[in-house]
């Protein structure tokens, strides 16, 4: 599928300048990344990675995580319910087995997503990752809805978020992006705590709490009951929260939640996002990423705009 | 071609089997050469987001469909109409476009010189059709298939229906122990609904016979990325959730932790 991307640059020769954006310390060649856990090297069989500004890996935890019992998925009338439970092989195996593959294969910046069950655990994971080469930044996942005592416990309290982020930001010069949950009373308070703590950027939103039940049997469609809801149905929620956070912080926002195409991406950029990520869309359209960049590049070229002209310029 | 590929291919031919079952045939020599029995594709009726008039029409997930037949680039998918996704597939005609991701998964191990029992239930039939073609010249193969009614059974050596409309009456598992003992079966391959596979696994393991089973699961990515299709595999005390799409869909039945589903 390499042809798909060369088509983009052929059709829009100047688009590469228009598509540049900045996410904190990172200069991104395009404003597009992928949502943690929805994309991996296997997807790069389908298209050229050059359409991505950065690559975000699946969230890792210090110890291996088995994940949640099946069934873990259900497709609703508008988006997907998932209950994966951060299944991953743990930090040591990630560093020894997965990271070398990323280093060898990827030419775009790698953002490592990780989560911990205490501030100390987050810190020790960061220290271990700091000693590894080939990492451009971190996504601090404090927002997974599918694990009880990890991540989300931190994502709901501004004081704890501030404490965590300030401890982490003092120990790295790499991009520090903090991923927020929509399942909070006021996301702008959490966003401000992240900014005050010294993070370089925000990622939002993680999955919204959701549920699906078989109307005849009364049985939950996923084993754990309450799960994470992603995809088209959460787009208006994600857009509102992006706008809300952007009103309160100056650090750049990596927005995600129901983005499927370049038109969706533009809506989030108007609302205040500096970059966007594809999540559930990767499952329903294997070429979502190159199509998004091709469409966005053509649009910017035709309208003579740059990404930076649009960020946060929503009108009412 | 180690990892699954994404392709758009025209349906060369659509074959009607009954009201509920049909076969879609495509043509692709490279994909055909890469495929093995027990592997599957994620397939879907082509849905395009490219047309700006159509931006609000968001396509649904691909559906995992095992390879029914694969010979010289001619690849067949035998499909049962069960839900929204397969219903959309059922509306496709010759010439319509299909989106495919595959071939995916591990496939069945292939043996020679063995006495083999194939055991299928309902829409578990298709992957065993491709498998028996690979096995038949080098092994002694006996195939038992069961379904709810006459419409759910297909050519094989021994047919069972729950309503007794054709073949033996009852569940196909009822006849398994007798065949294994009478024919001194070395290896069983199975595919079908989970309760059937679980019941068969108990019977077959009690007889100490090697058993490979192909599992079905709800999938999002189909390529090992999302971990949505994971099932418990291992020993009673040491198991992990493995991905049906990547480490599976074929597992040693004795390693499937049926009690944890």
Spell out the domains of chain A, with CATH numbers in brackets: 2-68+86-207+233-310 (3.20.20.70)
Nearest to B221 among A75, A263, A283 (CB): A283
**What is the b/e burial string over B155-170, where b = at least 16 CB atoms within 10 angstroms of the residue's CB?**
ebebbbbeeeeebeee
Distance CA B86, CA B246 (A): 22
Helix H or strand E encompassing A239: helix A235-248
Mean pLDDT of A44-52: 95
Residue A4, pLDDT above cutoff 90: no
Burial class from Cβ neighbours inside 10 Å (0-12, 13-18, 19+) for residue A312 reads middle
ipTM: 0.92
Nearest to B6 among A1, A66, A284 (CB): A1
For chain B, what are the domain ranges? Answer: 5-104, 115-260
Mean pLDDT of B230-239: 97
Does B229 lie at the interface with A, CB-CB under 8 angstroms? yes
Pick the CATH number of B5-104 from 3.90.1300.10, 3.30.70.1450, 1.10.1240.10, 2.40.30.10: 2.40.30.10
CA distances for A104 relative to A38, A53, A139, angstroms: 20, 17, 21
Does A258 lie at the interface with B, CB-CB under 8 angstroms? no
Does A39 lie at the interface with B, CB-CB under 8 angstroms? yes
Closest CA to B25 of B35, B33, B16: B16
Q: Best residue in B230, B240, B245 to probe A by mutation, most A CBs within 10 Å?
A: B230
Q: Best residue in A70, A78, A113 to probe B by mutation, most B CBs within 10 Å?
A: A70
Residue A297, pLDDT above cutoff 50: yes
Mean pLDDT of A14-34: 91
Which backbone phi and psi does A114 adopt, to 5 degrees? -145, 160
Mean pLDDT of A95-117: 96
Query: Is A70 close to B241, i.e. CB distance below 8 A?
Result: yes
Mean pLDDT of B217-235: 97
Burial class from Cβ neighbours inside 10 Å (0-12, 13-18, 19+) for residue B56 reads exposed
Local confidence band at A213 (pLDDT 50, 70, 90 cut-offs)? very high
Nearest to B49 among A42, A72, A285 (CB): A285
Burial class from Cβ neighbours inside 10 Å (0-12, 13-18, 19+) for residue A53 reads buried
Name the range with the highest mean pLDDT among A142-151, A222-231, B81-90: A222-231
Could you read off the pLDDT of B169-193 as tens digits, one per residue?
999 999 999 999 999 999 999 999 9
Local confidence band at B84 (pLDDT 50, 70, 90 cut-offs)? confident
Residue B165, pLDDT above cutoff 70: yes
Does B58 lie at the interface with A, CB-CB under 8 angstroms? yes
- What's the confidence (pLDDT) of residue B52? 41
Partners of B58 on chain A (C-beta within 8 Å) are 78, 231-232, 260, 284
Lowest mean pLDDT among A258-267, B57-66, B219-228, B234-243: B57-66
Does B57 lie at the interface with A, CB-CB under 8 angstroms? no
- What's the confidence (pLDDT) of residue A22? 96
Residue A14, pLDDT above cutoff 70: no
Local confidence band at A74 (pLDDT 50, 70, 90 cut-offs)? very high
Nearest to B228 among A58, A82, A261 (CB): A82
Does B218 lie at the interface with A, CB-CB under 8 angstroms? yes
- Separation in Å, CA of B229 to nearest CA in chain A: 7
Give the residue carrying structure tokens 């705009």. Answer: A305
Give the residue carrying structure tokens 């029409």. Answer: B57
- Separation in Å, CA of B120 to nearest CA in chain A: 23
Chain A residue whose CA is closest to B104: A42
Mean pLDDT of A247-270: 97
Query: Is B49 close to A1, i.e. CB distance below 8 A?
Result: no
Partners of A37 on chain B (C-beta within 8 Å) are 225-227
- Chain A residues 267-296 within an 8 A CB cutoff of chain B: 280, 282-288, 291
Does B225 lie at the interface with A, CB-CB under 8 angstroms? yes
Query: Is B227 close to A37, i.e. CB distance below 8 A?
Result: yes
Give the residue carrying structure tokens 């592997």. Answer: B39
Nearest to B61 among A37, A75, A87 (CB): A75
Mean pLDDT of A77-101: 96
Q: How many CB pairs under 8 A join A and B?
A: 104
Query: Is B224 close to A42, i.e. CB distance below 8 A?
Result: yes
Distance CA A139, CA A203 (A): 8
Partners of A87 on chain B (C-beta within 8 Å) are 227, 230, 241
- What's the confidence (pLDDT) of residue B88? 83
- Separation in Å, CA of B53 to nearest CA in chain A: 12
Partners of A231 on chain B (C-beta within 8 Å) are 58
Torsion over CA: B47, B49, B52, B54 (sign): positive
Which backbone phi and psi does A158 adopt, to 5 degrees? -55, -40
Q: Best residue in A3, A285, A293, A295 to probe B by mutation, most B CBs within 10 Å?
A: A285
Could you read off the pLDDT of B47-72 as tens digits, one per residue?
654 444 444 566 789 999 999 999 99
Give the residue carrying structure tokens 């393991």. Answer: B205
Nearest to A73 among B3, B228, B241 (CB): B228
Give the residue carrying structure tokens 């699961």. Answer: B217
Distance CA B61, CA B229 (A): 13
- What's the confidence (pLDDT) of residue B83? 81
Closest CA to B175 of B194, B155, B159: B159
| Six token digits for residue A146 | 């599918």
Distance CA B85, CA A86 (A): 27
Q: Which fold has domain B115-260?
A: Rossmann fold (3.40.50)
Does A48 lie at the interface with B, CB-CB under 8 angstroms? no
**What is the b/e burial string over A154-180, where b = at least 16 CB atoms within 10 angstroms of the residue's CB?**
bbbbbebbbebbebbbeebebbbbbbb
Give the residue carrying structure tokens 């994600």. Answer: A238
Distance CA B218, CA B229 (A): 6
Does A100 lie at the interface with B, CB-CB under 8 angstroms? no
- Separation in Å, CA of B43 to nearest CA in chain A: 11
Partners of B223 on chain A (C-beta within 8 Å) are 40, 42-43, 45
Report angle CA B162, B165, B166 to the nearest 5 degrees.
Answer: 95
Burial class from Cβ neighbours inside 10 Å (0-12, 13-18, 19+) for residue B204 reads buried
Local confidence band at B19 (pLDDT 50, 70, 90 cut-offs)? confident
Residue A196, pLDDT above cutoff 60: yes
Closest CA to A48 of A303, A307, A289, A236: A289
Local confidence band at A120 (pLDDT 50, 70, 90 cut-offs)? very high
On average, the pLDDT of chain A sits at 92
CA distances for A182 relative to A118, A210, A225, angstroms: 21, 12, 18
Query: Is B224 close to A40, i.e. CB distance below 8 A?
Result: yes
């Amino acid at each position: 599928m390499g042809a798909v991307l060369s088509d983009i640059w052929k059709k829009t020769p100047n688009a590469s300048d228009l598509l540049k954006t900045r996410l904190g310390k990172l200069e991104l060649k395009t404003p597009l990344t992928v949502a943690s856990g929805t994309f991996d090297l296997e997807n790069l069989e389908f298209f050229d990675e050059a359409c991505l500004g950065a690559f975000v890996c699946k969230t890792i935890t210090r110890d291996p995580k088995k994940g949640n019992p099946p069934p873990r998925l259900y497709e609703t009338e508008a988006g997907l319910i998932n209950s994966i439970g951060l299944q991953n092989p743990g930090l040591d195996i990630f560093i020894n087995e997965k990271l070398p593959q990323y280093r060898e294969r990827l030419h775009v910046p790698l953002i490592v997503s990780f989560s911990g069950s205490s501030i100390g655990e987050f810190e020790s994971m960061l220290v271990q990752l700091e000693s590894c080469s080939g990492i451009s930044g971190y996504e601090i996942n404090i927002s997974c809805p599918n694990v009880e005592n990890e991540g989300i416990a931190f994502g709901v309290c501004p004081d704890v978020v501030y404490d965590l982020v300030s401890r982490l930001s003092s120990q790295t010069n790499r991009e520090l992006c903090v991923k927020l949950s929509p399942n909070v009373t006021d996301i702008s308070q959490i966003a401000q705590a992240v900014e005050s703590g010294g993070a370089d950027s925000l990622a939002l939103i993680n999955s919204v709490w959701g549920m699906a039940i078989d109307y005849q049997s009364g049985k939950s469609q996923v084993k754990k009951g309450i799960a994470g809801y992603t995809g088209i149905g959460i787009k208006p929620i994600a857009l509102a929260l992006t706008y809300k956070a952007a009103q309160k912080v100056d650090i750049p926002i990596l927005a995600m939640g129901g983005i499927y195409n370049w038109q969706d991406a533009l809506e989030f950029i108007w609302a205040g996002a500096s970059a966007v990520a594809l999540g559930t869309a990767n499952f329903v359209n294997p070429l979502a990423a190159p199509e998004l960049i091709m469409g966005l590049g053509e649009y910017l070229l035709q309208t003579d705009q740059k990404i930076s002209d649009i960020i946060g310029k929503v009108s009412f | 071609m180690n990892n699954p590929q994404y392709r758009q291919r025209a349906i060369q031919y659509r074959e009607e089997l009954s009201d509920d079952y049909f076969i879609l045939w495509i043509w692709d020599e490279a994909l055909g050469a890469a495929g093995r029995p027990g592997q599957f594709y994620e397939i879907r009726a082509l849905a395009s987001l490219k047309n700006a008039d159509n931006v609000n029409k968001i396509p649904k997930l691909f559906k995992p469909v095992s390879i029914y037949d694969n010979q010289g680039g001619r690849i067949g998918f035998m499909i049962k109409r069960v839900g929204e996704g397969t219903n959309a597939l059922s509306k496709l005609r010759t010439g319509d476009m299909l989106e495919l991701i595959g071939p995916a998964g591990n496939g069945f191990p292939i043996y020679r010189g063995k006495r083999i029992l194939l055991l299928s239930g309902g829409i578990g039939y298709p992957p065993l059709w491709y498998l028996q073609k690979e096995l038949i010249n080098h092994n002694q193969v006996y195939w038992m298939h069961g379904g709810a009614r006459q419409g759910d059974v297909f050519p094989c050596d021994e047919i069972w229906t729950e309503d007794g409309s054709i073949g033996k009456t009852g569940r196909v598992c009822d006849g398994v122990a007798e065949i294994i003992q009478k024919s001194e079966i070395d290896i069983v391959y199975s595919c079908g609904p989970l309760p059937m596979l679980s019941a068969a696994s108990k019977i077959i393991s009690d007889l100490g016979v090697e058993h490979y089973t192909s599992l079905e699961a709800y999938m999002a990515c189909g390529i090992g990325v999302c971990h949505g299709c994971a099932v418990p595999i291992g020993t009673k005390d040491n198991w992990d959730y493995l991905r049906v799409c990547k480490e599976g869909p074929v597992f040693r039945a004795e390693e499937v932790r049926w009690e944890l589903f």
